Amino acid sequence: KAGVTQTPRYLIKTRGQQVTLSCSPISGHRSVSWYQQTPGQGLQFLFEYFSETQRNKGNFPGRFSGRQFSNSRSEMNVSTLELGDSALYLCASSLLAGGSYEQYFGPGTRLTVT
């Protein structure tokens, strides 16, 4: 079974631009969560989508948004990029929502904002 895939793997943007990252979950998984990883901060939860609905959102500004399609694929968008948005963005899928299902992570998209 194919794992979680994320595209692109690397991205360089300039301040003020916007960016869209894509995530394809494991086949059959319906929950997709997004995390931001920065040095010293570990992984911080951005949001979770299940059946095309955002179920939960972390403590990030409104510049960070996402959506999920009917095939469970998900995208996240960051508008008006800031230098501090440089990070590894990880997507994770799980079979169902609920907190007790192990999440399977993709390799991440490394975003650099200059």
Partner 1 sequence: DQQVKQNSPSLSVQEGRISILNCDYTNSMFDYFLWYKKYPAEGPTFLISISSIKDKNEDGRFTVFLNKSAKHLSLHIVPSQPGDSAVYFCAASAPTGANNLFFGTGTRLTVIP
Whichever of 16 and 74 has its CB closer to partner 1, that residue is 74
Sign of CA dihedral 70, 51, 103, 6: positive
Shortest CB 47 distance to partner 1, Å: 8
- 48 sits near partner 1 (criterion: CB under 8 A): yes
23 binds partner 1 per the rule CB under 8 A: no
CA distance 27 to 33: 15
The amino acid at residue 53 is T
Using CB under 8 A as the binding criterion, the count of chain residues that bind partner 1 stands at 30
> Given the complex with partner 1, which of 1 and 102 has the nearer CB atom?
102
Identity of the residue numbered 19: V
Token match 């690397």: residue? 10
Closest contact distance (angstroms) between CB of 20 and partner 1 is 19
Please choose, from the candidates 61, 56, 68, the residue with its C-alpha nearest in 3D space to the C-alpha of residue 99: 56
Task: Select the residue interacting with partner 1 from 51, 69, 101, 112 (CB under 8 A).
Answer: 101
Contact present, 70 and 52 (Cβ < 8 Å): yes
> Are residues 85 and 34 in contact, defined by beta-carbon separation less than 8 angstroms?
no
Minimum distance of partner 1 from residue 9's CB (angstroms): 9
Binding site for partner 1 (CB under 8 A): 4, 31, 33, 35, 40-45, 48, 50, 55-56, 58, 90, 92, 94, 97-108
